[in-house]
Structure 1
Amino acid sequence: MAASSSHGGCGGGDDDNEPFLLGFVVAKLVGLRHYSSTINGRESVSLVREPLNRYDANAIAAHNRRGEKVGHVDRDTARVLAHLLDTRLVAATHAIVPKHPSGKNRPKPFKLPCQVHLFAHPASADAVRSAVSGSGLSLIDTGHAEFSFSESAIVQEQTKKSDRDVDRLFARVVKEGEGRIKPMEAPEDVVVSDLFEHQKDALGWLVHREESCDLPPFWEEDKDGGYQNVLTSQKTKERPLPLKGGIFADDMGLGKTLTLLSLIARSKARNVVAKKGKGTKRRKVDDAGQESRTTLVVCPPSVFSSWVTQLEEHTEAGSLKVYMYHGERTKDKKELLKYDIVITTYSILGIEFGQEGSPVNDIEWFRVILDEAHVIKNSAARQTKAVIALNAQRRWVVTGTPIQNSSFDLYPLMAFLKFEPFSIKSYWQSLIQSPLVKGDKAGLSRLQNLLGAISLRRTKETESGSKSLVNIPPKTVVACYIELSSEEREYYDQMELEGRNKMLEFGAGDSIMRNYSTVLYFILRLRQLCNDVALCPLDMKAWLPGSSLEDVSKNPELLKKLASLVDDGDDFDCPICLSPPSKTVITSCTHIYCQTCILKILKSSSSRCPICRHALSKEDLFIAPEVQHPDEDGSGNLGSDKPLSSKVQALLELLKRSQKEDPLSKSVVFSQFRRMLILLEGPLKRAGFNILRLDGSMSAKKRSDVIKRFAMVGPDTPTVLLASLKAAGAGINLTAASTVYLFDPWWNPGVEEQAMDRVHRIGQKKAVKVVRLLVKGSIEERILELQERKKRLISGAFGRKGGAKENKEMRLEELRLMMGISSPAWGR
Structure 2
Amino acid sequence: MEEDDDFVDPTDQASQSLSSSSETYLLGFVCANIVGIKYYSGTISGREMVGLVREPLNPYDQNAIRVLNTRTVQVGHIERSVAAVLSPLIDANLIVVEGIVPKSRARNQFKIPCQIHIFAAIEAFPTVKEVISDGGLPLISESNASFALSESMAVKEKRDKSSYKTVDEIFKLVDENVSKSCALEALEPPRSVIKTDLFVHQKEALGWLVHRENSGDLPPFWEEKDGAFVNILTNYSTDVRPEPLRGGIFADDMGLGKTLTLLSLIALDKDPSARNKEKCYETGELDEGFSGSGGKKGKRRGANKKATGSQKRRKTESTPSGALGKGKSVVDGITATLTDIKTTLVVCPPSVFSTWIKQLEEHTKSGTLKTYMYYGDRRTNDAEELKMYDLVLTTYTTLSSEEVLECSPIKKVEWWRVILDEAHIIKNASAKQSQAVMNLVAKRRWAVTGTPIQNGSQDLFALMAFLHFEPFSIKNYWQGLVQRPLAQGNNSGLSRLQVLMATISMRRTKDKELIGLPKKTIDTCYVELLKEERELYDQMEEKAKKTVQGYINDGGLMLNYSNVLRMILLLRQICTDKALCPSDLISLLPSNNIEDVSNNPELLQKLVELLQDGEDFDCPICISPPTDVVITCCAHIFCRACILKTLQRSKSCCPLCRRALTESDLFSAPPQSSEADCNGFSSSGTSLSSKAAALLKLLVASRDQHPATKSVVFSQFRKMLMLLEEPLKAAGFKTLRLDGTMNARRRAKVIEEFGVPGTDGPTVLLASLKASGTGINLTAASRVYLFEPWWNPAVEEQAMDRVHRIGQKEEVKIVRLITKDSIEERILKLQEKKKQFAREAFGKRGAKGLREVGADDLRILMSL
Q: TM-score range by the shorter chain?
A: 0.7 to 0.9
1:331-342 maps to which residues of 2 (within 5 A)? 331-342=381-392
**SS class of match (1:178):** coil
**SS class of match (1:663):** coil
Cα 1:218–1:146 shift into 2, 3 Å: farther
1:382 lines up with 2:432 in the alignment: yes
Aligned equivalents of 1:554, 1:19: Cα separation in 2: 42
1:323 lines up with 2:372 in the alignment: yes
Alignment correspondent of 1:310: 359
Aligned equivalents of 1:333, 1:798: Cα separation in 2: 39
Cα 1:406–1:56 shift into 2, 3 Å: closer
1:200 lines up with 2:245 in the alignment: no
1:134-533 maps to which residues of 2 (within 5 A)? 165-174=166-175, 175-222=178-225, 224-270=226-272, 286-289=324-327, 290-291=338-339, 292-328=341-377, 329-462=379-512, 468-506=513-551, 508=553, 510-513=555-558, 515-533=560-578
Aligned equivalents of 1:140, 1:517: Cα separation in 2: 35
CA RMSD of aligned residues (A): 4.0
Q: CA deviation at 1:390?
A: 1.7
**SS class of match (1:15):** coil
Aligned equivalents of 2:413, 2:31: Cα separation in 1: 37
Alignment correspondent of 1:715: 759
Aligned equivalents of 1:492, 1:98: Cα separation in 2: 58
Alignment correspondent of 1:653: 697
Q: CA deviation at 1:486?
A: 2.0
**SS class of match (1:179):** coil
Q: CA deviation at 1:13?
A: 4.9
Is the 1:42–1:236 Cα contact (8 Å) retained in structure 2?
A: no
**SS class of match (1:180):** coil
Q: CA deviation at 1:333?
A: 1.2
Aligned equivalents of 1:523, 1:460: Cα separation in 2: 34
Aligned equivalents of 2:537, 2:257: Cα separation in 1: 43
Aligned equivalents of 1:818, 1:790: Cα separation in 2: 14
Name which of structure 1's ranges 433-442 and 394-403 shifts more when overlaid on structure 2.
Answer: 433-442
Q: CA deviation at 1:803?
A: 3.3
Specify the code of the residue in structure 2 equivalent to 1:4.
Q
Cα 1:459–1:154 shift into 2, 3 Å: same
1:740-751 maps to which residues of 2 (within 5 A)? 740-751=784-795
Give the TM-score of the pair, scaled to structure 1.
Answer: 0.86
Alignment correspondent of 1:735: 779
1:30 lines up with 2:38 in the alignment: yes
Is the 1:709–1:718 Cα contact (8 Å) retained in structure 2?
A: yes
Is the 2:15–2:618 Cα contact (8 Å) retained in structure 1?
A: no
Specify the code of the residue in structure 1 equivalent to 2:257.
G
1:556 lines up with 2:606 in the alignment: no
Q: CA deviation at 1:209?
A: 0.6
Is the 1:5–1:809 Cα contact (8 Å) retained in structure 2?
A: no
Q: CA deviation at 1:632?
A: 4.9
Alignment correspondent of 1:826: none
> Residue deviations 1:446-487, cap 9 Å, x none?
11112111111111113xxxxx12110010000111122222
Aligned equivalents of 1:524, 1:751: Cα separation in 2: 17
Aligned equivalents of 1:73, 1:504: Cα separation in 2: 45
> Residue deviations 1:175-212, cap 9 Å, x none?
23433342111111111111100011111111111111
Cα 1:58–1:652 shift into 2, 3 Å: closer
Give the TM-score of the pair, scaled to structure 2.
Answer: 0.82
Identity %: 52
> Residue deviations 1:106-149, cap 9 Å, x none?
xxx99575455657786896799689979xxx999989998877
**SS class of match (1:369):** strand
2:669 to 590, 607, 624: 624
Q: CA deviation at 1:784?
A: 0.6
1:765-776 maps to which residues of 2 (within 5 A)? 765-776=809-820
Cα 1:173–1:496 shift into 2, 3 Å: same
Aligned equivalents of 1:236, 1:488: Cα separation in 2: 67
Q: CA deviation at 1:416?
A: 1.2
1:593 to 634, 638, 661: 638
Alignment correspondent of 1:666: 710
Cα 1:536–1:144 shift into 2, 3 Å: closer
Specify the code of the residue in structure 1 equivalent to 2:166.
D
Specify the code of the residue in structure 2 equivalent to 1:334.
E
Is the 1:29–1:62 Cα contact (8 Å) retained in structure 2?
A: no
**SS class of match (2:202):** helix
Name which of structure 1's ranges 394-403 and 348-357 shifts more when overlaid on structure 2.
Answer: 348-357
Structure 2 alignment gaps of length 5 or more: 1-9, 284-311, 328-337
Specify the code of the residue in structure 1 equivalent to 2:657.
C
Aligned equivalents of 2:819, 2:275: Cα separation in 1: 62
Is the 2:28–2:141 Cα contact (8 Å) retained in structure 1?
A: no
Alignment correspondent of 2:291: none
Q: CA deviation at 1:31?
A: 5.9
Cα 1:584–1:297 shift into 2, 3 Å: same
Name which of structure 1's ranges 618-627 and 391-400 shifts more when overlaid on structure 2.
Answer: 618-627
Aligned equivalents of 1:427, 1:361: Cα separation in 2: 28
Q: CA deviation at 1:606?
A: 4.8
1:789 to 833, 837, 843: 833
Q: CA deviation at 1:355?
A: 2.4
Aligned equivalents of 1:258, 1:671: Cα separation in 2: 30
**SS class of match (2:376):** coil
Aligned equivalents of 2:476, 2:182: Cα separation in 1: 32
Alignment correspondent of 1:574: 619
Aligned equivalents of 2:45, 2:185: Cα separation in 1: 38
Q: CA deviation at 1:734?
A: 0.7
Is the 1:528–1:535 Cα contact (8 Å) retained in structure 2?
A: yes
Query: What is the count of residue pairs matched by the alignment?
Result: 795
Q: CA deviation at 1:820?
A: 2.1
Aligned equivalents of 2:462, 2:160: Cα separation in 1: 28
Q: CA deviation at 1:625?
A: 2.6
> Residue deviations 1:20-43, cap 9 Å, x none?
9654414352268xx8x9886667
1:694 lines up with 2:745 in the alignment: no
Is the 1:89–1:128 Cα contact (8 Å) retained in structure 2?
A: no
**SS class of match (1:688):** coil
Q: CA deviation at 1:630?
A: 5.9
Cα 1:145–1:21 shift into 2, 3 Å: closer
Cα 1:744–1:553 shift into 2, 3 Å: same
Cα 1:366–1:642 shift into 2, 3 Å: same
Cα 1:729–1:572 shift into 2, 3 Å: same
Structure 1 alignment gaps of length 5 or more: 103-108, 463-467, 822-828
Cα 1:153–1:330 shift into 2, 3 Å: farther
Specify the code of the residue in structure 1 equivalent to 2:858.
L
**SS class of match (1:682):** helix
Aligned equivalents of 1:761, 1:15: Cα separation in 2: 38
Q: CA deviation at 1:674?
A: 0.5
Specify the code of the residue in structure 1 equivalent to 2:602.
E
Is the 1:473–1:764 Cα contact (8 Å) retained in structure 2?
A: yes
Specify the code of the residue in structure 1 equivalent to 2:37.
L
Cα 1:59–1:744 shift into 2, 3 Å: closer
Is the 1:436–1:443 Cα contact (8 Å) retained in structure 2?
A: yes
1:15 to 13, 23, 26: 23
Is the 1:153–1:427 Cα contact (8 Å) retained in structure 2?
A: no
Is the 2:21–2:853 Cα contact (8 Å) retained in structure 1?
A: no
1:780 lines up with 2:824 in the alignment: yes
Is the 1:4–1:575 Cα contact (8 Å) retained in structure 2?
A: no
Cα 1:592–1:182 shift into 2, 3 Å: same
Is the 2:714–2:784 Cα contact (8 Å) retained in structure 1?
A: yes
